[in-house]
Amino acid sequence: MGDILRYTGVFMTYSGLLCFFISLIYFAIIKKRYNNLISQYKSHGFFMKQFDILASSSGFFGSVSVTYFFWQLLTHKRIRLSRTEFLGDEPYNFIASFQKKDTQWIKRYFYLFIIWFGLVFLGGILIYLPDWFQLR
């Protein structure tokens, strides 16, 4: 039982790492659209969290936070600014003004991140699960 869990975890972790490299390649492909969207958003003077502004200049490793922000705008999730204040309608309308082909990469990239992170995390847990519970 323990070996099956370990091998399943190793397979999941390697699959997650493969998805990580695929997301790295995908980011290289969409980088121009990514930077274009950020510059257009900033040029309109819309609110963006300070961390996301910093992350937007960090390349691939900061792109997940920024993509999550735009995914929230695209899917009309409420973005909290403070305890009682939320982001206004203008940024949501701005992102909705783009054609679907210009924004579909946001969802793809975000879901690709969720997949590779989840596989690596769950695979790592499965690898060590037999050690934690002394399964043989």
pLDDT at residue 111, as a whole number: 96
pLDDT band at 64 (very low <50, low <70, confident <90, very high): very high
C-alpha–C-alpha distance, residues 66 and 105, integer Å: 13
**At a CB cut-off of 8 Å and minimum separation 6, what does 6 contact?**
126, 127, 130
Taking alpha carbons only, the member of 50, 37, 59, 61 closest to residue 117 is 61
Q: What is the mean pLDDT of the chain?
A: 94
Tokens of 65: 């936070």
Number of H helices and E strands in the chain, helices first, is 5, 0
Alpha-carbon span 41 to 43, nearest angstrom:
6
Contact 135, 31 (CB under 8 A): no
Average pLDDT score over residue span 83-101: 93
- Highest mean pLDDT range out of 48-52, 114-118, 127-131? 114-118
- Provide the whole-model pTM: 0.88
Q: Report whether pLDDT(5) > 80.
A: yes
